[in-house]
Amino acid sequence: MANTAKTFRLALNMASKSIGRRKFRAALTILGIVIGITTIVSLMSIGYGMQTEVGSALSDMLGAGITISSGGMGGMSATIPEYVRDYVLQVPGVKDCVPVITTIMEVGGSQTMVIGIDPDQAQSLYHVTLSEGRLARHGEDHSAVIGASMAERLGVHVNDTITLSSTMGGVGNTFTVVGILRSVGSSGISIGCFISLQAAQSLLKKEGYVSTLLVVLNDPSQATYVEHSIKQLFPEASVSSQEAILGQVNNILNIITGVLLALGAISLAVGAIGVMNTITMSVYERTREIGMMKAVGGERSHILLIFLSEAAIIGLIGGCAGNVLGLLMVYVIKLFASTIGLPFTIPLIISPTIIAAAMVLSLAISVIAGLYPSWKATNIRPVEALRYE
């Protein structure tokens, strides 16, 4: 093709004027693309934000690299003898092993998640921050640190007392609230209540047993090796590294994102058909014009470029509008989620990769959809087109 730059400018000029001549039709076509791109951008942004959020929440929450839990009841039944800890400590690479009871208990008529742990360890393993009071001290078996939402629900403050009882029944024990949690980790996930390990064991009548052993490693990169060693020692225990948990969560999120993306792709495909239709109509309306352009020396490549430019402009506008609307949508969903009080936040992460990918996708889909009708246009024979009324 002779002189691409000038032909390109001509093609863009003609394409934009052609779109301008049929504004309503162009607007509808662009809308088709916008819907697809909006869906994809908002879903990808939310998916990406969630992944980042969940990842950081998990790694924040568990200072431990490996978790050993009893098999049953979602790891909440206290069936691991406490002395196992001494064996685990012998495994090379293990820095510390913290016995924990994670369980559900009744308080004030409803159920809450309770963690029984040595108060000294709670800080380093769970990254708790307090809004009021202090953490329990070592040996304080009747002190509790409770979550903000629970405190609000029960209407208790520091130095008030609460009664925790096992879900299996029983009278329960009274605890003095010494501190109120602001948060655990960086996410807003609210754990109901921290009490000492001994208090939890006596409440469950499981003295000497724990539900979970949190293993702190010398070197996080040795997680797989240590996990393997522990599994050999205790084949019946359920051992999982934090990495594996993260992987599982990511897998689930990936599946959800994938399904949503497929929905976006379907709407984009419908948009592409719209582009194809519009370009076909444009070629049909301009048959004489095409014949004339060929008569005065226009080559196939010139004609192709003129019509592909039309598709490209549609794609470009669709991509821009789709990006803006998509990000707006994330913002609205974020507002909505916080209004109805979901226990987690959706971060508004504007990822340049997603924006760029959406633009390229929109442009590529439109141009590909325009390819067939544009190619048909190049096949128009001038003699016939000029005779055509």
Partner 1 sequence: MSRAVELHNVVKVYELGEGIKVEALRGVDLNVEKGELLSIMGPSGSGKSTLLNMIGGLDNPTSGRIIVDGIDITGMGEGELARFRRESVGFVFQFFNLVPILTALENVELPIVFEGKLSSRETRERASDLLRLVGLGERMKHRPSQLSGGEQQRVAIARALANDPSIVIADELTGNVDRETGSKILRFIQHLNRTLGQTFILVTHDPTVGQASQRILYMLDGRIISEPPKSVETPSKQVLIEERRQLILAELGWLRSSLIRLEESKDSMKTELYNQLMAGYASKLESLKQAIQGSQEAS
- Which of 133, 172, 188, 382 is in the footprint of partner 1 by CB under 8 A? 382
Residues of 241-270 as b/e, b for ≥16 C-beta within 10 angstroms? Answer: bbbeebeebbeebeeebeebbeebeebbee
Q: Ramachandran region of residue 133, left (φ > 0), alpha (ψ -120 to 50) or beta? A: left
Residue with tokens 């544009």: 374
Q: 166 by DSSP, 3-state: which?
A: strand
Shortest separation between residue 378's beta carbon and partner 1, angstroms: 10
Min. distance of Cβ 301 from partner 1 in angstroms? 9
Least distance in angstroms from the C-beta of 49 to partner 1:
45
**Given 158, 289, 345, 351, the residue binding partner 1 (CB under 8 A):** 289
- What minimum distance in Å lies between the beta carbon of 380 and partner 1? 12
Q: How far apart are the first and last CA of the chain?
A: 30
**Contact in structure between 128 and 188 (CB atoms under 8 Å):** no
Based on CB atoms, which residue is closest to partner 1, 206 or 302?
A: 302
In whole angstroms, how close is the CB of 374 to partner 1 at the nearest point? 17
Phi, psi of 155 (to 5 degrees): 70, 35
CB of 330 to partner 1, least distance (A): 39
Structural tokens at position 349: 């992460």
Please state the closest distance from residue 307 (CB atom) to partner 1, in A.
Answer: 13
Q: Is residue 287 part of the contact set for partner 1 (CB under 8 A)? A: no
Q: Torsions phi, psi of 135, nearest 5?
A: -80, 160
Query: Is residue 134 within 8 Å of residue 114, measured between CB atoms?
Result: no
Distance CA 127, CA 122 (A): 7
**Which range, of 34-42, 106-114, 237-245, 291-299, touches partner 1 by CB under 8 A?**
291-299
- Which residue shows structure tokens 């959800």? 256
How much of the chain is in helix, strand and coil states, percent to nearest 5? 60, 20, 20
Give the one residue of 105, 215, 293, 327 binding partner 1; rule: CB under 8 A.
293
Count of residues of this chain found to bind partner 1 when the rule CB under 8 A is applied: 29
Ramachandran quadrant class, 259 (left: phi over 0; alpha: psi -120 to 50; beta: rest): alpha
- Which tokens belong to 64? 């431990």
Beta bridge partners of 110: 107
Stretch that binds partner 1, among 7-15, 120-128, 168-176, 185-193 (CB under 8 A): 7-15
Bridge-based pairing state of the strands 212-217 and 94-107:
antiparallel
Q: What is the DSSP letter of 143?
A: E
The least distance separating partner 1 from the CB of residue 382, rounded to whole angstroms, comes to 5
Measured from the CB of residue 31, what is the shortest distance to partner 1 in angstroms? 23
| 18 versus 366: smaller Cβ distance to partner 1 | 18
Stretch that binds partner 1, among 15-23, 27-35, 159-167, 203-211 (CB under 8 A): 15-23
Task: Give the Cα separation of 200 and 74 in Å (integer).
Answer: 17
Question: Closest CB to partner 1 among 363 and 377?
Answer: 377
From the CB of 312, what's the least distance to partner 1, in Å? 17
Contacts with partner 1 in 17-56 (CB under 8 A)? 17-18, 20-21
Cβ closer to partner 1: 236 or 389?
Answer: 389
Does an H or E element contain 110, and which?
Answer: strand 110-116
Burial class from Cβ neighbours inside 10 Å (0-12, 13-18, 19+) for residue 343 reads exposed
Listed residue (205, 199, 238, 267) closest to 74, CA to CA: 238
Residue from 7, 67, 241, 366 binding partner 1 (CB under 8 A)? 7
- Point out which span in 3-11, 114-122, 313-321, 336-344 binds partner 1 (CB under 8 A): 3-11
Instruction: Report the residue number, 5 or 340, with the smaller CB distance to partner 1.
Output: 5
Binding track over 294-313 against partner 1, x by CB under 8 A: xxxxxxx-x-----------
Binding site for partner 1 (CB under 8 A): 1-3, 6-7, 9-10, 13-14, 17-18, 20-21, 288-289, 291-300, 302, 382-383, 386
